[in-house]
Amino acid sequence: MKTASAALALTIMAMGTIDAAALDRRVRINNNTSYDIVEFYASNQGSRSWEEDILGRSILPSGHSVVINIDDGTGYCKYDFLAVFEDGEELVKYGNNVCELSQFNYTD
């Protein structure tokens, strides 16, 4: 009986670890374009406004990447992304599941 209880406890703990990893909201943003990204926003899907510029005073240079924790504390997984490039062009990508994404690519 003790062995079965211990096995059940380990199984439950392992399931909790898997669930926590599945909800990791860190996403590597890859800038594979020929322009620097000067602003980056991620707002949960359906939001009527963009949150703050995640890059702040930094930029994401062409050919580089950055890991961003896209977790606003709401528990949502689906986010819209807005990248603003150095030439002023804006690119919006809708409905990104940050609980499943590990990387997101911007390309020319």
Note whether residue 55 is domain-resident: yes
Structural domain boundaries, residue 75: 25-107
Note whether residue 17 is domain-resident: no
pLDDT tens per residue, range 17-42: 444 444 679 999 999 999 999 999 99
- Are 60 and 89 a contacting pair, CB within 8 Å? no
Note whether residue 91 is domain-resident: yes
- Are 48 and 38 a contacting pair, CB within 8 Å? no
Q: How many domains does the chain have?
A: 1
Q: Domain containing 51 — which CATH number?
A: 2.60.40.2890
Distances (CA, A) of 68 to 6, 15, 42, 103: 38, 25, 10, 10
Note whether residue 2 is domain-resident: no
| pTM, two decimal places | 0.76
Note whether residue 7 is domain-resident: no
Note whether residue 47 is domain-resident: yes
* Size of the chain, expressed as the number of residues it contains: 108
pLDDT tens per residue, range 67-100: 999 988 888 999 999 999 999 999 999 999 999 9
